[in-house]
Structure 1
Amino acid sequence: MPDSSSITSLRNISEYLQALKNSPKYGPQVVCHKTFPEQKGAYIPFPTTLPDILTSCLLQQGIEKLYSHQGKAYKEIRNGKNVFAATPTSSGKSLIYNLPVLESIYRDRSTKALYLFPLKALAQDQLRVLQKFDEIFYSDKQKNTHTLAALYDGDTSARQRKKIRTCPPDILISNPDMLHLSMLPYHSSWAPFFKELKYIVIDEVHIYRGVFGAHMSWVLRRLQRILELYGARPTFILLSATIGNPEQFAEKLIGQQVVSIVASSAPRSKRNMLFLNPWNSAAHTVSQLLEASLKRGLRTIVYTGSRKMAELITMWTKPNLGKLGSKLSSYRSGFLPEERRLIERDLNSGKLLGVISTSALELGIDIGDLDLCILAGYPGSVMATWQRGGRVGRGRKESAIILVAQEDALDQYYMQNHEDFFSRTMESAIINPFNSQIMEQHLHCAAAEVSIHKNELAVFPLIIKKAVKELTSQGILLQSSDGKEFFATRKYPQRQVSLRGSGRQLQIIREDNGEVLGEIDSGRAFKECHPGAVYLHSSITWLVHTCDIENSEIVVSPFRENYHTRPVSQKHTEILKVIDQKEEPGYRVSLGKLIVREKVTGYQKRNNRNNKLMGSIQLDLPEQSLETVGLWLEIPESTKLEIEEQQLHFMGAIHALEHAMIGMFPLLVLCDRYDIGGISCPAHHQTSEAVVFIYDGYPGGMGLCNEAFFRIEELLEQTAKTIRNCACENGCPSCVHSPKCGSGNRPIDKKACNALITLLLNPGWNRHVQESFKKSMMTDQEPRMEIIRPGTFPDLPLSVLPTHYGVFDLETKYSAAEVGGWHKAHKMGISVAVVYDSLLDHCVTYMEHETDKLVEHLFALDLVVGFNNRRFDNAVLSAYSDKDLNKMVMLDLLEVVKKQLGYRLSLDRLAKFTLGKEKSGDGLQALQWYKDGEMEKIIQYCKNDVVITRELLLYGLEHGFFLFQNKAGKIVRLPLDLEGKILRKDG
């Protein structure tokens, strides 16, 4: 450990590293020290096409020439090409987009540009950069009516928003959420801006992978659809950290081809990269390294893999720093926005000397010149490692990155194979725009913005056409009466779609004063904030009392006991559909749709000092289910027999294999192990063999397992290498243990896993003949199984009505107001009831004194059809009979409409547009007729309603929809599965 007895402000990173390596305790733990020498830059002069006034402004900022990669990007953008600059941190990416945009604005003052940043802090940094160019474009007098750049985010006041919409700036700086929620739904208000939009700049593009990326790809598709409406076709400029598949990724994100620029010509100062494999806890080691760096005055950032670890390291380090303790802070998601902004400012100004962060500070927020980056565990990808390490050494001074390994499999893999880290290419960023759940949400939004025309569908991929058809069948989209357009049922469905989370956010609230401490995603709530859980926030421990998913709140109180908690859960998996399948000599691997059901059954209390189990508590929480995409290995019976004959634990083997494969998964695709899940089954009920499942951890899948399916052999080989190279005897977190295992890493058998993976990759070593497995192999490439979900049916006859059905309606003697409200319908009394009987093929009328016969007639029918009969007619009739009227087989057309549409439609409204008929009166008239004794008029009115209801039923069965006029005045189709409801008897 470096000597930290004296505080110095020399900020000498070389001395710190030398002291670390010479330390008797920590020196032997350094397994690798690689030095990257200073890199000189490659430059070009300013392009001759650049206006002199812009050149002058750059010179005033100390910029005398361009990096050669900046010049290449400038040329491509000027030629109208979409550009994707995926270069390392500190390579001058902001000039790549600012130069062509500012030049275009200077030459044509009508030019508009949209800058999108994923974080407010990034947007604010960019605004400060653009303000340096303000004087070029507008005098002080002109600034009253013209603006070069303005922010449009959640903090923008209502007054300022109106001003921006009325008189848009040349450059609008915003974020995906505002585009999704505040611009696209109100595009007509943005017409002046959209018509002149020439450039769309998207920064930190690598963050738009997985779920967020799928949402972003659809937001951009919706934006381009709106821009076509206004005749605009802007150039896209994308910027990112270095990734392995820039062109493929960008094209999936924006749906257009790009020119990629990946080589940086920017200079770099000397850098050091150290790998340290600690003998004890990684977190405690990081705490001591941080303490020593801060006492030397080194500006330091620590990255951790979890919010809990960030808080623990802060809590352990501060007491040892004395007065310097005030110069250290943690930083993570879950902090309130104002807390995060203050930490960013203090770090940039030098008020803070050190910060301990999750990935929240990985992006290019301006936090000043830092000396040292300490990684508390491998960040999960080569890209993230260099992205985080790129936060230091931005000036000409030497800097260092120290990777402190945890017991995790990937950490230990690189501790044993550190040259592999330095030679490995950046991972591919995966994006799946066609995740069914996300795609359907955004198609609904798109239809609300501008109706989807059949001509558009003609050029859409088949998967989108199917999604539109499915949304129409669900009543989420409504087809026009002529079938040419699709409209949204909701006016602003965007409000129901969160771009960043897989579920809604729950607030964490103090029990004593109601203070909101932070928030957590509902998908993680039961695991991290179940009743009895110990939760860390701002280095303070809290005890969870209640976790109320329905009301989106978690109640906590301060906690001072010396233990932490770990959830215990159970999972099981059902295969819904096989998408693809490969036969390998030692196993079969499949890709398909799965449903995973998980239930948190309890939690463990573990001592903070030694992690020993102090007790287990049972919980009774609701089950959560996830429909997703996954891959699964089917292991032949002969392999199972071979393992068992060696007196090895087969369940321990497949459980260990599941953990190890998940641990190695991020070597193939850009994700972390928390993006994926797994289950191992010694005998799955849907297959004839043992199965190991690995699945995407988001509804509908993110494309991660799709990628791994095609690289399964590579995944297994890397897994085998990790297991064999680990020095432990029985398994540990470096190879086959998982930090998120719901069964506490039991049973686990490393030796059996090693034998199993050897047999999978080398089936010839198996002494058993594998005929049983070969016989079970598929003889064709068709999926072996597909679960038909409720609501889907084979072709049926036009009418599935039973031979003896009836259509029923009644009129009352009193109004709801006269009896004290609709909830007292049983007091409203029957004046007349009418039943159409299919066997008689005419209507039968019943007066109040004949209600016994009415009830008898209804129970004799195989199906009773009505319009609001379940909630209203039955309630009125219940006053006249002891029978349970809900035992009748009923089809309530109003309930069917409401369930499909989300709100009610009157019988008159449906009849008018579906049948071209109108009711002969209304309920108030019928009440007056009763008071006046005009019973014939009531009877005729009631019969007319029954006839209309029956005709609606027959129309719906024949055509599959009703027609009505929506709130926008369009006549649209409301799709209905009346056949299915009659078959299921659930109407």
Structure 2
Amino acid sequence: MARRCYSTAVEICQARGVNPGIMSLASTGGPGSEEGGVPSASEQNPVGAVFTTLTPNGVTMAENCGGLILVGFPDTPGEALRVLESVGRQAEPEAFAIFYSLGDSETRFFAHNLTGLLAKGPDLIGVDADISEVVQLHVPHLISESEGRVYSFSREVLGNALFQTLRREGSELAFTEEFDPDEIELRPGTDKCWSLWNDGEQIGFLPSYQGFREAYPGAILAFRDVKYRVSESLSGHEDGASPKVVLESLDELVGLSTQPEFATSLAIRDDSLGLPLATGPSLHLGNVTLEERLVQISLVDESAEPSLDEQVPEERRIRGRLIGTHTPENDVSWHSDAQAFWIDVGSLLTGESGPPADNESVVVDSIVPALEQMLRVGVRFSFPVGPYDLITYSEGSRIFLLEAGPGALGVVKKAFDRWRDILELGASLARQCECEKGCPYCIVPPFSYNKSVDKVAALELADRLLEATRET
């Protein structure tokens, strides 16, 4: 891929009368390798732009060459970030141009926030040491990588709970000398992926929450730059097998999409750890039950101009020309009993610093949901989690964060301790975006949300919340 893009760039330069000699293709292999036989850039032959494959060796070589580094070509932005972290990200973020497919909303989101992605610190490790399966599977590998030694400075990286578990139980756990890190199950037995099938062949997987949200019967699903219609969704296997989704190709209907509407309810089952703050807001860590149900599906032509109906609330307006709506024939629902962190900002919604009392319903309907999304984005830039690993929900003046896979990696517990840092990061990314009201490149989630967001007012609320909880 790097070679093809380099060749294309050279052809464009030649066609426009530009000297292509300022570019080079960095080769990380020998004559017999996949990249062999290609002239390499070097420290003695600095160039203006370097094309290289996305490997630690390739990135390091490109850095030594100087100039703009065109590094590719990962499947996801997360893959690009892991490689850049492996070489220390010594170069300035502006020195990199990372190429990857923009065929899905998740990648477009990270592409828009590339500077923030490169500039942020390393991800926090959120392993919950109370989850015995995680400890049994991961601690042996941690010991193997550290050659059996657990240093005191590891506490900062691992977190105190996992560090103490490692010190206490490490010597009793067996491990193999050689292992493949890719085979480690991050959430063993908690989150069965949905397998995707097209023309009798398995083409990939979706996390279960994404499967519920996007792979319901009749949905138009975009997967790896190709659109499919979900003809069958077998999510209720009794034999313990993973849910199966059968897809039909839709190459000729690329402009169509389905936009679902969900009814959501949340019940607090345990609020044993609540911290009311003297300044008004309160923090909580407990257990909740989340119920979601698909209630309506809209078929939309996104290539057409939207027909706005002022009588319809903004959050329920269709993005494109509405072709038709229908209710699902069968029950499509999601049930989750999970640990959750939530914050109640009710005291900040009224009073001198807050909006007028007669606007309280507007505040709850648009500002609190926008604050919810800032927390969601902040978590994505703080922990190694995917877009469907976590669920956020707002109700009244409360904002909830829970993990889609019960008993996952303990991100909720970590967020309880680091929520201010997470909110500051999410608010910062929202400010950097040039949009006025919020968009999919900052705080509007890629999947159906069914709520409007007021970005400007939410940023003001975030500032008040952070100021009210600042340590003196």
Q: Deviation digits for residues 25-68 of structure 1, max 9, x if unmatched? A: xxxxxxxxxxxx969xxxxxxxxxxxxxxxxxxxxxxxxxxxxx
Paired position in structure 1 for 2:320: 612
2-structure distance, mates of 1:269, 1:409:
30
State the Cα distance separating 1:710 from its structure 2 match.
Answer: 1.2
Paired position in structure 1 for 2:355: 643
1-structure distance, mates of 2:406, 2:423:
26
Paired position in structure 2 for 1:758: 463
- Whether 1:304 and 2:76 are equivalent positions in the alignment is yes
2-structure distance, mates of 1:549, 1:676:
20
Paired position in structure 2 for 1:543: 229
1-structure distance, mates of 2:401, 2:233:
29
Matches within 5 A, 1:388-407: 401-402=97-98
The one-letter amino acid of 1:304's match is: T
Alpha carbons 1:428, 1:670 under 8 Å: kept? yes
State the Cα distance separating 1:383 from its structure 2 match.
Answer: 4.2
Matches within 5 A, 1:253-268: none
2:339 paired residue among 629, 632, 651? 629
Alpha carbons 2:298, 2:326 under 8 Å: kept? yes
Q: Does the C-alpha gap of structure 1 residues 302 and 617 become closer, same or farther in structure 2, counting only changes over 3 Å?
A: farther
Gaps of 5+ in 2: 1-7, 26-41, 45-54, 90-94, 139-161, 166-184, 238-242, 305-318
1-structure distance, mates of 2:73, 2:370:
35
**Secondary structure, in 3 states, of the residue corresponding to 1:657?**
helix
Paired position in structure 2 for 1:888: none
Q: Does the C-alpha gap of structure 1 residues 389 and 631 become closer, same or farther in structure 2, counting only changes over 3 Å?
A: same
Q: Does the C-alpha gap of structure 1 residues 663 and 504 become closer, same or farther in structure 2, counting only changes over 3 Å?
A: closer
The one-letter amino acid of 1:596's match is: L
Alpha carbons 2:340, 2:412 under 8 Å: kept? yes
Alpha carbons 1:658, 1:680 under 8 Å: kept? yes
In the superposition, the TM-score normalised over structure 2's length comes to: 0.60
The one-letter amino acid of 1:679's match is: Y
Aligned residues: 354
Paired position in structure 2 for 1:365: none
Alpha carbons 1:643, 1:752 under 8 Å: kept? no
Alpha carbons 2:430, 2:443 under 8 Å: kept? yes
Paired position in structure 2 for 1:568: 261
2:125 paired residue among 400, 417, 429? 429
**Secondary structure, in 3 states, of the residue corresponding to 2:443?**
coil
2-structure distance, mates of 1:506, 1:414:
29
1:703 paired residue among 410, 419, 425? 410
**Secondary structure, in 3 states, of the residue corresponding to 2:446?**
coil
State the Cα distance separating 1:691 from its structure 2 match.
Answer: 0.5
1:589 paired residue among 283, 287, 293? 283
Paired position in structure 1 for 2:390: 676
Alpha carbons 2:133, 2:188 under 8 Å: kept? no
2-structure distance, mates of 1:498, 1:664:
21
Specify which structure has the bigger relative contact order, considering alpha-carbon pairs within 8 angstroms and separated by 6 or more residues.
2
State the Cα distance separating 1:706 from its structure 2 match.
Answer: 1.4
Alpha carbons 2:300, 2:321 under 8 Å: kept? yes
State the Cα distance separating 1:734 from its structure 2 match.
Answer: 3.5
**Secondary structure, in 3 states, of the residue corresponding to 1:429?**
coil
Q: Does the C-alpha gap of structure 1 residues 13 and 410 become closer, same or farther in structure 2, counting only changes over 3 Å?
A: farther
Matches within 5 A, 1:298-697: 300-304=72-76, 362=79, 383=82, 385-386=84-85, 401-402=97-98, 415=115, 421-422=118-119, 424-435=120-131, 502-510=190-198, 514-536=200-222, 540-551=226-237, 552-559=243-250, 560-561=252-253, 562-578=255-271, 580-584=273-277, 585-609=279-303, 612-614=320-322, 615-619=324-328, 620-637=330-347, 639-640=349-350, 642-645=354-357, 647=359, 649-650=362-363, 651-682=365-396, 690-697=397-404
2-structure distance, mates of 1:618, 1:89:
50
1-structure distance, mates of 2:385, 2:207:
18
Alpha carbons 2:213, 2:447 under 8 Å: kept? no
State the Cα distance separating 1:544 from its structure 2 match.
Answer: 1.6
The one-letter amino acid of 2:23's match is: E
2-structure distance, mates of 1:586, 1:413:
33
State the Cα distance separating 1:654 from its structure 2 match.
Answer: 0.4
Q: Does the C-alpha gap of structure 1 residues 525 and 749 become closer, same or farther in structure 2, counting only changes over 3 Å?
A: same
Paired position in structure 1 for 2:64: 269
State the Cα distance separating 1:606 from its structure 2 match.
Answer: 3.4
Q: Deviation digits for residues 692-720 of structure 1, max 9, x if unmatched? A: 11122211242112112112222233333
Alpha carbons 2:393, 2:400 under 8 Å: kept? yes
1-structure distance, mates of 2:404, 2:66:
37
Sequence identity, in percent? 18
2-structure distance, mates of 1:389, 1:609:
42
Q: Does the C-alpha gap of structure 1 residues 601 and 403 become closer, same or farther in structure 2, counting only changes over 3 Å?
A: same
Alpha carbons 2:72, 2:98 under 8 Å: kept? no
Q: Deviation digits for residues 193-240 of structure 1, max 9, x if unmatched? A: xxxxxxxxxxxxxxxxxxxxxxxxxxxxxxxxxxxxxxxxxxxxxxxx
**Secondary structure, in 3 states, of the residue corresponding to 1:719?**
helix
The one-letter amino acid of 1:753's match is: A
1-structure distance, mates of 2:122, 2:186:
29
Paired position in structure 2 for 1:232: none
Alpha carbons 1:428, 1:669 under 8 Å: kept? yes
State the Cα distance separating 1:498 from its structure 2 match.
Answer: 9.7
Paired position in structure 1 for 2:176: none
Q: Does the C-alpha gap of structure 1 residues 581 and 506 become closer, same or farther in structure 2, counting only changes over 3 Å?
A: closer
Alpha carbons 2:72, 2:99 under 8 Å: kept? no
Aligned-residue Cα RMSD (Å) equals: 4.7
Alpha carbons 1:587, 1:636 under 8 Å: kept? yes
2-structure distance, mates of 1:681, 1:499:
28
**Secondary structure, in 3 states, of the residue corresponding to 2:349?**
helix
Q: Does the C-alpha gap of structure 1 residues 616 and 698 become closer, same or farther in structure 2, counting only changes over 3 Å?
A: same
Alpha carbons 1:427, 1:667 under 8 Å: kept? yes
Q: Does the C-alpha gap of structure 1 residues 5 and 506 become closer, same or farther in structure 2, counting only changes over 3 Å?
A: same
State the Cα distance separating 1:681 from its structure 2 match.
Answer: 0.5
Gaps of 5+ in 1: 18-36, 40-87, 92-263, 275-292, 294-298, 306-358, 363-378, 391-398, 443-460, 465-496, 683-689, 765-987
1-structure distance, mates of 2:257, 2:419:
37
Q: Does the C-alpha gap of structure 1 residues 693 and 12 become closer, same or farther in structure 2, counting only changes over 3 Å?
A: farther
1:728 paired residue among 435, 459, 463? 435
2-structure distance, mates of 1:695, 1:742:
16
**Secondary structure, in 3 states, of the residue corresponding to 1:570?**
strand
Q: Deviation digits for residues 792-847 of structure 1, max 9, x if unmatched? A: xxxxxxxxxxxxxxxxxxxxxxxxxxxxxxxxxxxxxxxxxxxxxxxxxxxxxxxx
2-structure distance, mates of 1:7, 1:638:
61
The one-letter amino acid of 2:249's match is: P
2-structure distance, mates of 1:14, 1:498:
45
Alpha carbons 2:260, 2:448 under 8 Å: kept? no
State the Cα distance separating 1:662 from its structure 2 match.
Answer: 0.6
Paired position in structure 2 for 1:324: none
Alpha carbons 1:578, 1:591 under 8 Å: kept? yes
**Secondary structure, in 3 states, of the residue corresponding to 1:652?**
helix
Alpha carbons 1:668, 1:708 under 8 Å: kept? no
2-structure distance, mates of 1:582, 1:385:
39
Q: Does the C-alpha gap of structure 1 residues 700 and 662 become closer, same or farther in structure 2, counting only changes over 3 Å?
A: same
1-structure distance, mates of 2:110, 2:298:
26
Paired position in structure 2 for 1:748: 453
Matches within 5 A, 1:876-895: none
Q: Does the C-alpha gap of structure 1 residues 653 and 403 become closer, same or farther in structure 2, counting only changes over 3 Å?
A: farther
The one-letter amino acid of 1:430's match is: G
The one-letter amino acid of 2:419's match is: I
